[in-house]
Amino acid sequence: MTTIFWQGGASNDWYDPANWRYGNLPQSDSNQAANVSGTAADPALAVLNAPSYSQIDCLTVGDDATVKITATTAGIGNVFATRGTEVYPGSNLIIDTPAAVELGIVTKVDGTLTIIGNDGKVVLDGTRIVGGGTVNLVDSTLGSATYPVSLATAVTLSGNSTLYAGFYGDGASVTFDPATQNTLYVTGNESTISTPLYGVSENTIFGIEAGSQTPVSAAYTMNSDGTYSLSVTMTDGKALTFDDIHLASGFVPASPTIEQTSSGWAIVDTNASSVPPSYDTSDTHLSLVATATAAQQVGGDTSQYSTTEYSQHNGDQTDGWNGGATGNWSTASDWSTGAVPEEDPAGHASLAGTESTPVSVTLDTPYYQQITSLSIGPYATMTITATADRAGYVFATQGMQIAPTGALVINTASPVELGGVTEVRGGTVTIENNDGKVVLDDNRLTGTGTLNLINSTLGTVAAPVRVGSFAVNLTGGSTLYAGFYASGSSVTFDPTTRNTLYVTGDESTVSTALYDVSANTVIGIEPGAYSAPDSAQYVDNGDGSYSLVVSLADGKTLTFSDVHFASGFTPVTPTVTAVAGGGWIITDSNAPCYLAQTLIRTDRGDVAVEDLRIGDQVVAFDWENGRDSLREIVWVGKARTVARPHLPDDEAGYPVRVLKDAIADGVPYKDMLITSEHCLFFEGKFIPVRMLVNGRSVFYDKTIRSYDYYHVETERHSVIMADGVLSESYLDTGNHRAFRRQEGNVISFLNSRNLTWDDAAAPLGVAQDFAEPLHQRIAARAEAAGLERQEEAPELTTDADLHLMLDNGAIVSKLRENNGRVMFMLPTGVTSVRLVSRASRPADVIGPFVDDRRYFGVAVGEITMFESGHTVAIRSHLTEKGLDGWNDLQWEDTRWTSGSALLPLGQRHPNSIALLAIQVRAAGPYLAAGMIGKTALAATA
């Protein structure tokens, strides 16, 4: 290992070679360490403002020195990575970026580590900070429920920060900013935590990680020395006690409550003091704000520093595989150098076989050292199955290349880094059982070949993958966030499982071929790439393929021009649904149809729908003249669907079961199974059965997860009899295909008639004044019959759980709420946020007889930002029609969010923290068990 020393120069730029002895950047060789040191008379400052995907051996922040990392990236890889870190007493390491930073297996802090605006992306491979220094978290999260951080340092939490920690040293302490909400999660087997906790107030949250025991009560007691203890009693009768709590001036504990969270439980309290506390002027708050401000201002304006990403992929030697046809990566004797590649991280690992002797190598042990490059040659397969036992990548390379007939298989849920250059030359990449933890540092998969995702996610909304000329296969519930930049690409969906493709870019036409599109296929549109979609429809291209045309709010269209349906799939009308965090999904699975064994009345009696044939005569009811007639069947369609439990019941694809006698005696005369959009006929109108669901006699049958369904089309749309209930035949809206196979015979017919509800046998009745009396009548009949509810009635809440989400995914909790206004503290540099809250649909919280399935979050009035002595009124939510995540503009001074609403903040004052005040004029009710920011505005074409 060689150490590269900082010598300083005209700039403080890490990437200026003149600042390093001999003009050699630390990242130019993976075996190099960096040492930044100064003197009391001439302190050193190095600012790292550009991402580097090359891992160095060690970073030392020596005497009288400060290293500040401000690099950002559009990707999800590390902007700086080292295998070890040391910060000397009196020196500083400042991480002021939302991007990922790796500090290595050994992290020693005897000086100060300050983390600003980072939501859990500072990685400690050893999950431990040693030393006796200080760790400051400012609007940041450190650690996770899976990988809490063990530390013995003093810690400060301010600006909505969270620490997942275990304390092992006597010098550890935690100081909370009493004016902002901050959270401490603790882990370990201790019954008593004696770490001193300072500045505890009603804004302090104590987190208990999920485990075998559940907290049932909590109480504060005063100790003999004036400090307090917080004792949390568990279900087993044992207690967890924080026995050295120092309250913030002005805080009087009341009665702590226990709230369940996504990772465990939160202990919160109110202030019993009759005098409002003045936390904003407290010494603790002012000191922590000064610390954060000083750290943010170090190095000045970042525009003076390099932003060009740095990487290198040239190994100083090749470590080739010579271990035979099969083997394990960890067997040192099977490598040409006699050592595994990670023992010389500056090296290049190479695998290759022949047609007669293919090579297969398995890596089942995690290696947290990054190698310079990986080459998988012809007839070679590398399979990664290693599971992480700590934070960090189980395999990492700065670059990768796969030759024709070469293959990389990643079958692990743990993080894997494939580097800044990932080139496939006809080979195959397969990712199995990995939820978005395969990292392409430059978000690009170049070349040609095959990409298989099996129960996996690749890319993110913020960092989609640019894909070359690849044949992509999605199966097992996979999701790909992608932009296709080369011709010849394709995506094939497994029609038996739900798979999602998100697209990004500015193209008006996506020509990538999409194969085996079915009811289980989801097409996603990323936020920011296009304006909000209003509707979608399939258009027949005339060559056996279809185009999916999406109409956008700005009057433009987005067209997927080469769509091929799976055998047996019949599209109806695609549904556009907004989703949490922004963006939209397009699905087509709620076709009105019958399940097998539904009996349709014909001229020869009641016949199972699956046995009907083209040319059969069904009995149609002429309701206007009060008589029956016969109609010829001109088409019978069959398809299969799989329920999607994560969606609302009416969109999830579960069939609706109408129990025998639910409507009247003998109506239906047996249990009836139909899809949720299928219409029943009442009083001269059709009404979708979803609007009649009561949970007793009409309910979603969730025991049926997959099923065949059938369409029956007559010469004209008809009122027909099914299981003794007046119902509807299929209404051809232009989406059945030109050819269908029925029992081996190919049936041909004329072009679609493109009908609408204007051509229906009766009008559609979805108005509440029509639907609600019907619903109540059927529900009352079920109650009178003593039918039990199939599920518990949903619990409602009025708690909106309003919070902000930053572009990097970080959560900002409310600072306080006063007089209808919710206050939030905004970190410096944030120019837009999302208003995230619970959101519910009128159809859920009022009743299914309300045909409004839009999501409503909170009704927002005035929004004001206070920053650097200035007051700014923000009105974009009241003026911009297509603003993402907001419902329609209906009033001049108020607008409803749909659960996750984008709010542009405009130009911010540099290096300044702001206060955002949001007026909430109305909120709720919500489904208590509903997701926060789950989905929004369900719009149907």
Q: CA angle, corner 105, sides to 102 and 108, nearest 5?
A: 90
What's the rounded Cα separation, in Å, for the pair 119 and 213?
28
Instruction: Encode pLDDT of 443-471 as tens digits.
Output: 889 999 999 999 999 998 878 899 999 99
Residue 614 tokens read as 């083209």
Q: Exposed/middle/buried for 891, CB within 10 Å: 0-12, 13-18, 19+?
A: exposed
Are 621 and 643 in contact by the 8 Å Cβ rule? The answer is no
What's the rounded Cα separation, in Å, for the pair 196 and 172?
7
Residue 7 tokens read as 């010598």
752: DSSP letter? P
Residue 807 identity: D
Q: CA angle, corner 333, sides to 328 and 334, nearest 5?
A: 50
Q: What local confidence, expressed as pLDDT, does residue 169 receive?
A: 58
Are 658 and 727 in contact by the 8 Å Cβ rule? The answer is no
What's the rounded Cα separation, in Å, for the pair 317 and 333?
17
Are 712 and 732 in contact by the 8 Å Cβ rule? The answer is no
Say which residue the tokens 């397009």 belong to.
Answer: 586
SS3 (DSSP) at 496: coil
Q: Where are the beta strands (DSSP E) in 837-887?
A: 858-867, 870-874
SS3 (DSSP) at 758: helix
Q: Which residues fall within 8 angstroms of residue 216, CB to CB, at 6 or more apart? A: 233, 234, 235, 258
Q: Which residues fall within 8 angstroms of residue 281, CB to CB, at 6 or more apart? A: none
Residue 371 tokens read as 């190698």
Contacts made by residues 185-191, CB under 8 angstroms, sequence distance 24+? 185/143, 185/145, 185/148, 185/209, 185/263, 185/264, 186/240, 187/148, 190/240, 191/238, 191/239, 191/240, 191/241
Q: What local confidence, expressed as pLDDT, does residue 485 receive?
A: 74
Residue 100 tokens read as 């990922």
Whole-model pTM: value is 0.60
What's the rounded Cα separation, in Å, for the pair 361 and 171?
46
Q: Exposed/middle/buried for 187, CB within 10 Å: 0-12, 13-18, 19+?
A: buried
Q: What local confidence, expressed as pLDDT, does residue 315 receive?
A: 47
Residue 738 tokens read as 């030109």
Q: What local confidence, expressed as pLDDT, does residue 933 receive?
A: 36
Q: What local confidence, expressed as pLDDT, does residue 752 receive?
A: 45
SS3 (DSSP) at 168: coil
Q: What local confidence, expressed as pLDDT, does residue 836 receive?
A: 94
Q: 429 has which bridge partners?
A: 408, 451
Using alpha carbons, list the distances in angstroms from residue 418 to 46, 328, 373, 399.
Answer: 28, 19, 9, 6
Using alpha carbons, list the distances in angstroms from residue 819 to 105, 837, 847.
Answer: 49, 19, 31
- pLDDT averaged per 10 residues in sequence order, the chain, 941 residues: 85 93 82 91 95 89 97 84 95 96 94 96 92 96 90 94 80 92 81 93 89 84 96 90 95 90 83 88 95 95 88 64 92 93 80 94 92 92 92 89 96 93 92 95 90 95 88 95 84 91 82 91 82 86 91 89 84 72 73 89 96 95 93 84 80 92 98 95 96 97 90 91 94 46 35 62 94 98 96 89 87 89 90 93 94 92 90 93 83 92 89 90 85 32 26
What's the rounded Cα separation, in Å, for the pair 69 and 121?
13
Residue 260 identity: Q
The number of residues in the chain equals 941
What's the rounded Cα separation, in Å, for the pair 429 and 416?
13
Say which residue the tokens 């609706």 belong to.
Answer: 656
Q: Which residues fall within 8 angstroms of residue 101, CB to CB, at 6 or more apart? A: 69, 78, 79, 80, 81, 95, 118, 121, 122, 123
Are 268 and 799 in contact by the 8 Å Cβ rule? The answer is no
Q: What local confidence, expressed as pLDDT, does residue 756 receive?
A: 64
HEC readout, 584-595: EEEECCCCCCEE
Q: What local confidence, expressed as pLDDT, does residue 30 receive?
A: 61
Using alpha carbons, list the distances in angstroms from residue 761 to 193, 679, 718, 755.
Answer: 72, 12, 5, 11
Say which residue the tokens 């083209």 belong to.
Answer: 614
SS3 (DSSP) at 159: coil
Q: What local confidence, expressed as pLDDT, does residue 815 receive?
A: 85
Are 804 and 812 in contact by the 8 Å Cβ rule? The answer is yes
Are 764 and 721 in contact by the 8 Å Cβ rule? The answer is no
CB environment 615-643: b (16+ within 10 A), e (fewer): ebebbbbeeeeeeeeebebbbbbbbbbbb
Residue 433 identity: N
